[in-house]
A and B are shown apart, each in its own frame.
Chain A
C-alpha cells in the first residue's frame, strides 16, 4: 500500500511555463484535494474532488486546473506559472462517509517559479 504519492518532489520553472503535478492514491478514496503551503501560513485549499468526473474550487483556485478521470489520480496543472505560485503543494485523500474526516497526505512537491 503506497498511500498517497506525488511527483515530482522538487521542480523549478520559469515564469510562463506550464507543468502538471501528479498525485495518485491506492486506497480507493473518493475524496482528493490539493493544498498549497506558504511560509507563515496554514495550508490553503486549491481544488478538490469527490469522485471521478467531479471537481470543485477551493479557497485559492486561480492559475490552477484539475481533472479527475479515475479514482486513483488527481493531477494539478499550472497553465502559466507565476512567481506567486512558488510554494509547497500537498495532495490529500480520504474516504467519503467516514465520520472522522481523516485525510491522508502525500509527501509534497516543492515548486519554485523564477
Chain B
C-alpha cells in the first residue's frame, strides 16, 4: 500500500527567508503524481504545486519549487522569500496514474516570523 510521510509536524522561518518542507512516500508504481497542498486557517485546500513522476525536471511555481528524487522517493517543497501569507498547514499527497484517489501525509504547520 502506498504511504506518504511528512516528518516535520511544525517548521518556522523568518519572513523573506527560504524554508524546505520534507515529504517521503512509498510506492511500487512507476507512474504517479505528487502534490503539495496548502491549507490556511480558512480551511480551504489550495493546490500549490504538482509533479508528474515521469518528468525528470522539478516543478516550479513562482516562489515554490520542488526537489523530486524518484529513486529516493523524496518530494520536498522549497518556499523562497517567505511571506506572512505563506503561514498554513502544508500537505504532501500522492496519486497513482490510473487512480484519482489521493494518499495524504499528516501535514506540516509552517509558521512565518515577521
Contacts and interface: CB of A to CB of B under 8 A. Distances in A.
Contact of B100 (A33, A41, A44, A107): A33
B100 A96 contact: yes
A46 to B, nearest CB: 11
Contact of A107 (B4, B44, B50): B44
B100 A43 contact: no
A103 B91 contact: no
B: interface residue count bin: 20 to 34
Interface centre among A33, A40, A96, A103 (most CB of B within 10 A): A103
Contacts of B105: 42
Contacts of B104: 42-44
A102 B43 contact: no
Interface of A: 31, 33, 35, 40-45, 48, 50, 58, 88, 90, 92, 94, 96, 99-103, 105, 107-108, 110
Given A42-B91, A42-B105, A101-B100, 10 more contacts: A41-B106, A42-B4, A42-B106, A48-B101, A58-B101, A90-B45, A99-B52, A100-B52, A105-B45, A107-B43
